[in-house]
Amino acid sequence: MRWRKVKQNPKSPTQAKHKANSALPPTNALPHRLIQELEQNSSDSLQIANFWERGKAQVIDTFMIYLPLLYFLTYVVVGSAQGFRDSTWAPFSGVLIYGILVALLLAFKGQTPGKKAYNLWIVRENGKNVTFAFALLRFFAFLLSGVSIVGIFMPLWRRDKKALHDILLKTLILKKG
């Protein structure tokens, strides 16, 4: 009897279990912009982004947004590297401005440059669009995840591939293709 069940359903039970745990929300629950983008490239499928794709996107964002911002703050606003190191407000304002820029990009595009390079999208589980306030809150939750280190590395062992800030704010990082 067991052989017949296996023969009729060639997928192993572990594949079915894994697929159920990493299930994506139904297409009608996704934000309108993402649905339009997917309709244009209908051959692409949605997947949950893994840890390495997310990490590479973050590295690109750091080099494209945060480092130029720090350079501008250091040499244009403060005037020197020593002045930047001695300043109490400059590092905090750099992180805050970076968070605002990332939140603006996520609110209007759903992606940062790094996420765009790897076809990653940030969506909310309930289907609502990511707003500026929500994206800024997500950025501060990302900082909390980074401080706890374990929060950033959670996608390595979780089946749904969510980091701490994704769990707290119920967001998904989807990969197209």
pLDDT tens digit at each of 177 positions of the chain: 444 444 454 554 444 444 444 445 555 555 566 556 555 555 567 888 889 999 999 999 999 999 999 999 999 999 899 999 999 899 999 999 999 999 999 999 889 999 999 999 898 888 788 899 999 999 999 999 999 999 999 999 988 889 999 999 999 888 887
Q: Measured at the alpha carbon of residue 84, what is the angle toward residues 82 and 80, in degrees to the nearest 5?
A: 55
Segment 133-148, tens digit of pLDDT: 999 999 999 999 999 9
Measured distance CA(141)–CA(95) in Å, rounded: 13
Measured distance CA(141)–CA(143) in Å, rounded: 5
CB neighbours of 87 closer than 8 A, spacing ≥ 6?
78
* Two tokens, residue 14: 């572990």
CB neighbours of 93 closer than 8 A, spacing ≥ 6?
73
Measured distance CA(71)–CA(62) in Å, rounded: 12
Instruction: Give the count of beta carbons closer than 10 Å to the beta carbon of residue 148.
Output: 12
pLDDT recorded at residue 22:
47
pTM comes to 0.74
- Paired residues of 12 in beta bridges: none
Measured distance CA(139)–CA(145) in Å, rounded: 10
Nearest residue to 113 via CA among 68, 73, 59: 59
